[in-house]
Each structure stands twice: as structure tokens, then as C-alpha cells.
Structure 1
């Protein structure tokens, strides 16, 4: 029997690949560069790709167009990839919209723009406080029954919302829950989310497992971020918080140095292995725009019990400065 995680009824790698970096940054990345990175991910077994209807800086749908070009250029990849696509946001107002009409429009739009006949995993990005869950999930269930959606994934939600989703859709139709988990985002272990995922055997797709690049050690000050980079808006990247948060990176850099691995590899190994400690499958969904970064992040690193305990001690003594997001976006978390 395989010990690989299963998403939407298909085996996926121990790590997944988040695609926002390709189209969510100020600089344009050429298709050959993108395709090289995507093929590298697949060749290393990372076949769980995570996209979004709003993952574009210039055009919100650029990530969907990119996928269409990729699957056209590499038709065999379309059968290998287990694709998750996020929707449920009004990108003009930056507010959740899971009204039945909005969800139907999004699902049909994603199918059309990606050129695929089915969305393996359909993910609602944030909980819409206006539309009742029953109304939103009725649409999801309709599309699952029609075969256009393979499974559902709630995102940034509370333990209570996960439990309601199971009650409305059935556990068999929920392939994972998408949540931020990293060395500086450990709330899932404190707010009941991990316990409910463990109860129902639902894997966690852990996005931003490297703190949007902060936890890789590549940034030593906010000035290292390109002008126009969206991360300049995030609280933890603000100049007044940057230096304090860098202390965490410096502490884990020392462990990585002794281990003979990069800080990125250590951070991803911790996210994956802490799931085993807590009794739940956690799949780190990292992002990277360069082929070399993808290959680096997919190298296998195993932390010893002593190393896990040492990291645990660091996390108990360190508290990140600033919220995970900024402004009103912070209020959308764990609803």
C-alpha cells in the first residue's frame, strides 16, 4: 500500500507546487522559464499544483492562461497534474464572494480558461460571511455530481467551518483544507483545526510554508524586495517588523548549517514532519519561479527527533511581529 497522500482520489507527492509566483510579481517570466519549472516539479513527483482565478498582477486570470499554454505545450502533463484552483473572491473589492451566481461563473470560467474538462480540486479562498455556507456548498455539490469538479477544498477556515463542510458535502467530497502553515504560522495547532482534520482524515495543504520567501533567508532587509512586490504590504515585511522577524531565520539558519541543508529545505521538512507528529497529513505547497529553486525545494531532507525538538524550543520562545496579512485581509482568516 502506498504511503503517498491522496487528493481527489489520486496520489500526489509529499510536497505541492504553488503557482502564484509566476504571474503575481511585477516582472514578467517567459513561458520557457515557467514550463521548465513546472516540468521540474513534475519530474520530482510534485504533481499537486495550486492555482487561483485571481493569481495575476496585471490580469487576475493570468495564472489560468499560463496553465492553458502549458497544457497545450505539454499535453501529457495535463494527465499527471492534480490541479487545485481557488476562487470565491471579488478581486475588485478584495472581499469574499461565494454567492451561487459568483461560484457558477468562476467554475465555468476556470474550466474555459484552463482548457480542462474538470477541476480536480475547487477551493473557496475565504469564507463569505454574507452568503450562508449551505447555499455556497450546494453549488459545489452540484458541480461535483456533474463531474466538473472532482473535490472541494475550503481555505483559511475555522474548525467549525470544516465540520459544517463535512456535514453538508460529505467527507468523501473534501480532499484537503488549505491553510497557512510554516515556522511562523502555527495557529492551526492551537485553534482546533488540526484536531478536526485528524478526526476526519482530511489532509492540510499548507500554503506559504516558507513565509512568502521570508523564511528562506534570502532577504536581509525590506530593501531586498523588488519595487512593486506585493509582499511590501504585508505586516511582517514592514521595516519596523522586519528585523525582529529575521531573528527566527537566523536561529533556524544555524540548524540548517549543521544539517548541511538550506533554510528552505529545513522549513519544508519541518512543515511536512510536524504533520506526522500531530497525526495529520500536511502537504507543504511551496512557490518558486526559478527552476533551480524548484529543484532545491524538492530535495528530500529528514529532520531527526532531536532537530525537531530543537526547532520546537525555538518556536516556543519566538513570537512573530505583525499579522500574517494586513488591513482588512487579516480579518478574513480562520472564519
Structure 2
């Protein structure tokens, strides 16, 4: 398995995302149980952020509580934290003052209970260059305040430009059977050439590949998925054809559709010219983590060929955002 900022990724090669766009926050007891299960099963790459949760209790607060209770587990986890947004808003501010505020605030909340192994701005502010962003964060690396620098939601050119300023530890981008754009626009290729792992967020297609919902009426109001075009109206009807085809394949292999989706992302790592792929499926219960971690099949060449055919036959329509 690859290493990130000097730490080895666990045997499974993937991690978990906590407290993202979820309006139904789990209890502390449930959260700790979920985190314990993830680590016990080998998912030691954890992804959090200043923007995940309310200002007074985002995922950094949860992690402080967890590692205060279990200090011996801190060194077992590779922690990636996203920030760079304005306080309490999904508005990106890449000014030096705000990036420093964001990093310093996350460090303050964690309070030394856990180091930040990777820090990344959740989006690149169009008013600043990636060179400026990476230069600021590189100073934090030099000072030993963060372990490395990540990028989030960037294209191939941005990855190459950033890597010239400072080595990039990871690139976090959306990737799933429901969204393959990085395989087509050169982003995955650039990461492979530079030896940068891809952290694949939403590997379960915002939950639709896991059977979380089949129409928006089943999703609680306020959830982020309500804003996404590919889950609306006619687009949703068309895109369910892909979901149903994945379900059929999963049924024949006697596994859950989510396990097929994760197996496909992991299988990309073995393809020539592809970077290491680290899927980070979200989970708020130990049972969901267990499903995501255990029983994920190794897909045969025939399975992968069938999936390629499904993707060509049922093209996903609708913008991502």
C-alpha cells in the first residue's frame, strides 16, 4: 500500500469520510463506535474538514473528543482536513489571511490531540492562484504544523502547477461509477505521472449506488443531494438505469451494490497509467462501515468488461453541481 506523508495506508487501502453534508448528526456514542470500527477494519485514512458540520461542532471538534478519549490511536490515523472556506459558509476565500485563519483554527480545535497529516483547501478560490495557495501551506509544512499539502476538486493543469511549487501528498476528487470525469479529462493521468494518490470522494455516487434512495422524496430535506442536477427529474430517471444495472451485477455476485462500486474504484489502481485510488465512502454507523470494508470482491476481467459496457450503455446525464 502507498504511503502518505510518511505513514502507511492500511491493508484495505481506503478510508472514510465523516460528518460531510449530513444534516442528521449522529450521537457522540454512535460516532465513536463508527470510528472504532473503521480503524479496527483497517480504514486509517480519515477525511474531515472545517466545513463539515456547524461552526461550533464540525468534524475537528469530534476528532478532538475522540483522540482525547483514545490518545493511543492518534498515530494510527492519517488525517486529511479541508478548509479555506469563509467561517460558516460554503464560500471559498483563498486569501493568505483566510487560509492561515482556517489552518490555525483547525489546529486550535484539534488542540494537539491529533496532527493534521494533510491540509487542503476544499476548492481553489478563482481570485487566487494555486501557486499562491500552495506557497502559503508550504510554510506550514516547513514549520512542522501540518504534514503535507493536498488539493481538492482540481483539474490536471492545476495539479501539475501546484506540484512544481511543493510536492502534493494527495488529490481529492469525485470518482465513482456515477462520475468518471477524472478518467477522461487527464486528472487521473497527471496524478499517475507525478505519483500522487487520488482520494476518491463520493465513491458511492452520493449514496445512490448504495441503495440509499431511488428518488429525492426519500432524501431528507436540506441534504446536499437535493441541489445536484443529476438527481432531478428526467436526469434521475435516466441515471437510475445505471444504478439498476449495477444492482443486477451485485445480485449475481451475491454482494451489495456498494461493494461493487468500491471494488471498481479499487480496481482502477491496477490499470496501467492509473494512480493509486483511495475511496473514502461516508458512513455514520458501524454496520455501514463494515459493509464498506468487508466482502468487497476482487473483480475479474469479465466483471470489469461488463462494468465498462454498463457505463457506455447508461451514460450519466446532468451536471455534478
User: 2: CA distance between counterparts of 1:275 and 1:91?
Assistant: 36
The equivalent residue for 1:95 is 91
Deviations 1:74-93 (A, max 9, x none): 11121111100001122555
RMSD: 1.5
Question: Is the CA contact (8 Å cut-off) linking 1:125 and 1:154 kept in structure 2?
Answer: yes
Deviations 1:207-266 (A, max 9, x none): 000011011123122111123222222212224432221111100111111111100011
The equivalent residue for 2:58 is 62
Go from structure 1 to structure 2 and tell me whether the alpha carbon gap of 1:52 and 1:15 turns closer, same or farther (over 3 Å shift). Answer: same
User: 2: CA distance between counterparts of 1:262 and 1:193?
Assistant: 29
Any idea what SS the aligned residue of 1:150 has? coil
Q: Name which of structure 1's ranges 271-280 and 190-199 shifts more when overlaid on structure 2.
A: 271-280
Question: Is the CA contact (8 Å cut-off) linking 1:216 and 1:249 kept in structure 2?
Answer: no
Go from structure 1 to structure 2 and tell me whether the alpha carbon gap of 1:79 and 1:316 turns closer, same or farther (over 3 Å shift). Answer: same
The equivalent residue for 1:270 is 264
Any idea what SS the aligned residue of 1:149 has? coil
The equivalent residue for 1:295 is 290
The equivalent residue for 2:138 is 141
User: 2: CA distance between counterparts of 1:243 and 1:318?
Assistant: 11
The equivalent residue for 1:329 is none
User: 2: CA distance between counterparts of 1:305 and 1:146?
Assistant: 47
Deviations 1:165-195 (A, max 9, x none): 11111x3xx2111010000111111111111
> Which segments of 5 or more consecutive residues in structure 1 lack a partner in the other structure?
326-335
User: 1: CA distance between counterparts of 2:269 and 2:179?
Assistant: 14
**1:165 and 2:159 equivalent?**
no
Number of positions where the alignment pairs a residue of Structure 1 with one of Structure 2: 316
User: 1: CA distance between counterparts of 2:285 and 2:37?
Assistant: 10
Deviations 1:50-81 (A, max 9, x none): 0011101x437521111111111111121111
The equivalent residue for 1:15 is 14
Question: Is the CA contact (8 Å cut-off) linking 1:209 and 1:271 kept in structure 2?
Answer: yes
TM-score by length of 2: 0.94
User: 2: CA distance between counterparts of 1:316 and 1:302?
Assistant: 22
Q: Name which of structure 1's ranges 107-116 and 307-316 shifts more when overlaid on structure 2.
A: 107-116
> Which segments of 5 or more consecutive residues in structure 2 lack a partner in the other structure?
none
Correspondence 1:289-328 to 2 at 5 A: 289-299=284-294, 300-325=296-321
Superposed displacement of residue 279, structure 1: 2.9
**1:201 and 2:198 equivalent?**
no
Superposed displacement of residue 126, structure 1: 1.1
Superposed displacement of residue 158, structure 1: 1.1
Question: Is the CA contact (8 Å cut-off) linking 1:50 and 1:84 kept in structure 2?
Answer: yes
Go from structure 1 to structure 2 and tell me whether the alpha carbon gap of 1:97 and 1:61 turns closer, same or farther (over 3 Å shift). Answer: farther
Superposed displacement of residue 280, structure 1: 1.5
User: 2: CA distance between counterparts of 1:46 and 1:151?
Assistant: 19
Question: Is the CA contact (8 Å cut-off) linking 1:178 and 1:205 kept in structure 2?
Answer: yes
The equivalent residue for 2:232 is 238
Q: 1:25 aligns with which of 9, 17, 22?
A: 22
Superposed displacement of residue 315, structure 1: 0.7
TM-score by length of 1: 0.90
